[in-house]
Chain A
Amino acid sequence: MGAKAENGPKPPPPLSSPPPFKALVKLKTKQQELLIRSAALALIYVLAFAIRLFSVLRYESMIHEFDPYFNYRTTLFLTRNGFYEFWNWFDSESWYPLGRIIGGTLYPGLMVTAALIYRALRFLTFAVHIREVCVLTAPFFASNTTLVAYFFGKEIWDAGAGLVAAALIAICPGYISRSVAGSYDNEGVAIFALLFTFYLFVKAVNTGSLAWSLASAFGYFYMVSAWGGYVFIINLIPLYVLVLLVTGRYSMRLYVAYNCMYVLGMMLAMQIRFVGFQHVQSGEHMAAMGVFFLMQVFYFLYWVKDMLNDTKLFQSFLQITLTCAIGVGTLALGIGMASGYISPWTGRFYSLLDPTYAKDHIPIIASVSEHQPTAWSSFMFDFHILLILFPAGLYFCFKRLSDATIFIVMYGLTSMYFASVMVRLILVAAPAVCLISAIAISATIKNLTTLIRKKSKAALTVSSKATSNLKASAKALLDQSLPFQRNGAIAVLVGAFYLLSRYAIHCTWVTSEAYSSPSIVLAARGAHGGRVIFDDYREAYYWLRQNTPPDAKVMSWWDYGYQITAMGNRTVIVDNNTWNNTHIATVGRAMSSYEHEAYEIMQSLDVDYVLVVFGGLTGYSSDDINKFLWMVRIGGGVFPVIKEPDYLVNGEYRVDKGAAPKMLNCLMYKLSYYRFGEVTTEYGKPTGYDRARGVEIGNKDIKLEYLEEAFTTSNWIIRIYKVKPPKNRW
């Protein structure tokens, strides 16, 4: 860098210069560069796809986790029945007896994308199954994200940084965790859309071109159609604009970019039914609108300033205008809020700004593990060296401040904050962290290599002329400013490569070990080191699908709702959509009541089967007993008859003999431990020893009066009970 700075203004140097391959000598330097750059990008593209296939290799080509099953089911519906039917789909198979208007309550971007890919492949005469398309959508978009990261990096720094950013994001565990093959979730395409929108916007700000701004509006539209996280964009961009205004970087480019993007993006976003008029009606979107008006005021002021040519007059005019503008804005906001036209912030939004909010007010959000605040270890796990490189990158950004670097700094800082509030938002921070770290790596390595190359050249010349003159070489040596500069540079370079290789190794390990499990199929190591597979979930769902009446209603905790509808093809009472808290609370209440009370609730809900997840036999810890307190809390939040202290003993949650009597006799306990008291689970332990919690259960003699065991899977992980019909009165 130093060498270049001396030489005055010139266009940004295009990337690290290619090594002079003899074969490439005939090409122009520009073409050599292009070749190497595109080859590297192509490799990164393939790498990003390939590393996400671990899950297919370790397990199979299947859909993972919970939400992806809903997405898969809706995609299936979309490809079978067409978009119109999909848009108007009223799903009576979930939220019985309420049903759910699917078309109006989901972000259709993912499904439409997958369906389009499917159509395109079919058109190209590739007879693929829609499941394969769904499984591979996330890796495909991750690959595309690397391309966007490259262009983004090129825009904010240089092409070298872009390449490094592409390579980093291709294997960044924070991103991989949500985009392995089979993780068919909104985030899979949304991160691509997010980064793409940001890139287009920065490009629009840099060029002031209407075309780029339009493109970013469409990128925003895609993002809105794909994920609720679009709120991040619609708040970050105004914030960024505001910062530019405050720092005196207002320009016509910014004006064009923001206005076009905001107005068009808002119009387009209204086309998504789930979002509707929120852009003008909800508190979360008001910042964007405020900044939009502020821009107009700014523009007006500049115009007036041009016209007036009188500083004093302008100053007073400025004061009046600003006071008026702020006054009118506050008044409008106040009236909007008061009249209820503008809805206040939602709980989810609050819980982002105040991490303790959800815990106190919305148990249903707090109960999800991915909504918990992030631990340091998971930062380290997901970012590894990027966490250290991030501040270094910030330093470089501040050193060369421009509109683009300000953007990436703001994106990095805000997303880092959100990532520490909620585990799942590490995903949003991942691209920013990768980009900023890439700047650090690229800039450092570039500096080091310039040092090394300069000296090596000198050394080379010296050695070739060594025979002729000693004085010349002595003079050349005098050029060096530091004695061990070259050696030092080499050492640092080697260190950097070591770190980067550790990063690559870490990412590969994390991907293969931690993030490739579909969580439907559990794998463990057997006593002899062999791989044991627990396929109980699918066993149970398939049993439901095959051996229950087609109109049977299944009651389970909401976590399993999507899976039951997708794999079991049966109606559920509640599912992962969690749109109706009361309904979920009713199920929570049934689970935490005594059997006869629960029977009444189940009768009123027409429940035919009850499904519980039980890990006591296998030691599977994320089962319903461990989630039970949340059921109590959510149930108690709506029905005060359910009180959390009834299930605790001195504030302690127990299932053994010392457990609270209500706990020992509630429906969930009975269903989980029915006849478990007769089983010996571990050698040398009494019967009924719960391996997940490591205690002997407290109630071994469980009798069921209103339910009967209908099916239990081979490892007892899922237990299904049939609700008996009411007894005859006579």
Chain B
Amino acid sequence: MAMVSRFAFFLLWISVLSSTTHSELVISRIDRRVDLSSHIVRALFSMKVENVGSKVVSEVLLAFPNMQAKNLAAIKTLYNEGRGKVKASSVSLPTAVVEPEGMPPELTFYSVSLPKGLEKGGTVSLDVLAVFAHSLQPFPEEITQADGQLVVYQDSAYYLSPYTVKVQTLGIRLPGGRVESYTKFPNAKLVDSEITYGPFENLPAFSYSPVIVHFENNYPFAVAHELVREIEISHWGNVQITEHYNLVHGGAKTKGGFSRLDYQARSSVRGASSFSHLIFRLPPRAHSIYYRDEIGNISTSHFWGDSRKTQLEIEPRFPIFGGWKTSFTIGYGLPLQDFLFKVDGKRMLNITFGSPMDEVIVDNLIVKVVLPEGSNGISASVPFPTKQGEEIKYSHLDIVGRPVLVLEKSNVVPEHNLYFQVYYHFNNLSLLGEPMMLISGFFLLFVACIVYMHTDMSISKSSASYLAKIQLEEVQATVQQIQNIINQCLAVHDKLDASLRDLSRTGDVQSCKIARKTADAQLKELVKELKPLVTFLHHSPQASHIWPKVEELVAKEKDMQEKMFLRHSTVVDCFEKKLGGREIENRVASQQQKLAALRQEVDDLLEFLDEI
């Protein structure tokens, strides 16, 4: 391989340099364990550093070849306080890139700042976790559907360090499939899919010896070229998260066709390198989950949830083979109170940064925190360096737009799934702005309707049709008034009837007379009211067609009044003369009959007028 020759050149450099190291530190023991079971390479270095010089040392340098360093996604150093195996008291130490003088440019150095200076003769135990993305090269680079995916991993058998290393071992854990080849060393052995090198003793600084492992790894090589996470906060009680994935299978490219038959019949063999499921571990109490892409909803997803976690398993539309791409969007809502807190009068959003998807490498992650309209004083605290920016987003009913905090980071691995905080000021009163807008909008609409109904919009107030319309409306109103009055008259008649019935029951002539008097007065009043209306109707040209009916109605009613009073007086007379019940009935029978007929006619007329 081409790389090997470069390494050789590299070693030359190092041999030149090794004499010039002026370090006072010595690594007394280092155990390196490299985990290759997924497509993210995790290397854990447990080292014991000893100060053999005279000065107090406050930092330890870690060296990585540039080739590895460019894939280094995350590095974390833990410092064990307690001697022995008590890991609980480990403290994370700041680790940063440095460029010390006189060091070869092919190496990238990270400096670990020790919590307190290391005295002469003192030792310190450090655990360094380095996570590498894109460090497994598929070889061959193109495979068919039926082939397993072979990848190559390169490292050095010796720990590349600016310090002398006394004792060291290297263990490489493989996923457990076929191992095509690995660099043989006298003390290298392969046991149960784990290759161990070493121990090697007393190697000078910058010792390097390349190791190449070629093995089968069918782990889903899910790589998101770009992931945009949008975290939208609504102070009504919801945090809405929308994640747009642009996913690609980062392993060996597929050549030749894709046979569904082979895939369906023996998918574990004929399609081993593909993946068709992705697991998302969402925060607890996630709700309203959706999964879609540009052309619609994707119905193949499963979802489990309990009080501690929510798990979402999605299937892309098609199985993803090497080099195939897909893109999709998932979204979910989270309860606000789990993530938003008040700190010193400021609001603090505390939420995870990375993707909730299992073992995914995100080449370029953009996190957008959309704060409610009217937020200000925005600041963020992220546990690792990111590029920050701001923009404005317009959503429903926004006038000035919502401030959006944009955080960008490349090469993101699950180790970056840490909480970060966004602080901002927000006045609760702003919450009411949008509902008020809606309310006032509807209010104005109704007001406009009312105004429209009550104003006269016609342009020419003197045109014939307009006047006719006005008159017609007046006539209709008058007819309605007349109807009302007639109805009142009828009610009075009924009262009179009732008084007669009372009379026949109690024989109280006096009260009956009083009733008659009041009825008389009421009817007179009503007739007086009726008069102007009837005259108006009589003279209105628009009413010509209903006038006869109204006239008839009024006349009939008048007739009825007379008949009513006549009957009333007859009955009262009879009572005063103390005539028998049958006698009275006989006397009023004809009147009764006429009254009923009249009443019927009046009712018919009223109904007819109703229909106009």
Contacts and interface: CB of A to CB of B under 8 A. Distances in A.
A713 B589 contact: no
B327 interface: yes
B395 interface: yes
24 contacts: A4-B611, A9-B545, A13-B611, A17-B610, A17-B611, A29-B476, A125-B396, A125-B397, A126-B397, A127-B396, A453-B607, A457-B603, A461-B596, A461-B599, A465-B599, A469-B596, A472-B593, A539-B317, A545-B295, A709-B257, A710-B257, A711-B260, A712-B259, A716-B260
Given A10-B545, A535-B299, A711 B326 contact: no
Nearest 3 pairs of A and B residues by beta carbon: A712-B260, A708-B257, A472-B596
B610 A547 contact: no
A60 B395 CA distance: 22
Interface string A693-730: 00000000000000011111110100000100000000
Contacts, number: 111
Contact of B327 (A7, A468, A546): A546
A457 B293 CA distance: 66
Interface in A7-21: 7-10, 13, 17
Contacts of B296: 60, 62, 538
A60 B297 contact: yes
Given A533-B299, A543-B318, A713-B318, A461 B600 contact: yes
B298 interface: yes
Interface in B567-612: 589, 592-593, 596-597, 599-600, 603-604, 607-608, 610-612
Contacts of A461: 596, 599-600, 603
A538 B256 contact: no
A675 interface: yes
B600 A62 contact: no
B324 A547 contact: yes
A252 interface: no
Interface hub of A125, A126, A453, A458 (most chain B Cβ within 10 A)? A125
B298 A535 contact: yes
Tier of interface size on chain B: 35 or more
A60 B545 CA distance: 59
Nearest to A707: B257
B257 A547 contact: no
Given A8-B545, A546-B325, A722-B257, A476 B318 contact: no
Interface of B: 256-261, 264, 293-300, 317-318, 324-327, 394-399, 473, 476-477, 480, 545-546, 589, 592-593, 596-597, 599-600, 603-604, 607-608, 610-612
A546 B396 contact: no
A542 B318 contact: yes
B394 A679 contact: no
B396 A535 contact: no
B317 A543 contact: yes
B607 A28 contact: no
Contacts of A472: 592-593, 596-597
Interface of A: 4, 7-10, 13, 17, 28-30, 60, 62, 125-127, 453, 457-458, 461, 465, 468-469, 471-472, 475-476, 533, 535, 538-539, 541-543, 545-547, 567, 675, 678-679, 708-714, 716, 722
A29 B610 contact: yes
Contacts of A29: 476, 480, 610
A13 B394 CA distance: 53
B607 A127 contact: no
A118 to B, nearest CB: 14
Contact of B295 (A126, A541, A711, A712): A541
Nearest to A62: B296
B611 to A, nearest CB: 6
B293 A469 contact: no
A542 B326 contact: yes
A127 B610 CA distance: 50
B606 to A, nearest CB: 10
Contacts of A465: 596, 599
A13 B326 contact: no
Given A125-B399, A546-B324, A679-B261, A28 B480 contact: yes
A712 B607 CA distance: 75
B596 A711 contact: no
A330 to B, nearest CB: 44
A82 B184 CA distance: 66
Nearest to A675: B261
Contacts of B612: 10, 13
Interface hub of A476, A539, A546 (most chain B Cβ within 10 A)? A546
B317 A28 contact: no
B394 A127 contact: yes
A335 B580 CA distance: 104
Nearest to A25: B484
B259 A538 contact: no
Nearest to B247: A546
Contacts of B477: 28
B97 to A, nearest CB: 37
A490 B258 CA distance: 71
A370 B185 CA distance: 76
B257 A538 contact: no
B261 A678 contact: yes
Nearest to A617: B260
Contacts of B600: 458, 461, 476
A712 B258 contact: yes
Contacts of B545: 8-10
Contact of A126 (B264, B300, B325, B396): B396
A183 B589 CA distance: 74
A9 B473 CA distance: 18
A77 to B, nearest CB: 15
A218 B397 CA distance: 34
A465 B600 CA distance: 11
B504 to A, nearest CB: 11
Given A28-B477, A30-B476, A465-B596, A125 B394 contact: yes
A34 to B, nearest CB: 9
A126 B295 CA distance: 22
Nearest to B262: A675
B271 to A, nearest CB: 13
Given A458-B600, A708-B257, A709-B259, 5 more contacts: A4-B611, A10-B546, A461-B600, A541-B295, A546-B327
Given A60-B296, A542-B317, A543-B318, A713 B260 contact: yes
Contacts of A711: 258, 260, 318
B295 A542 contact: yes
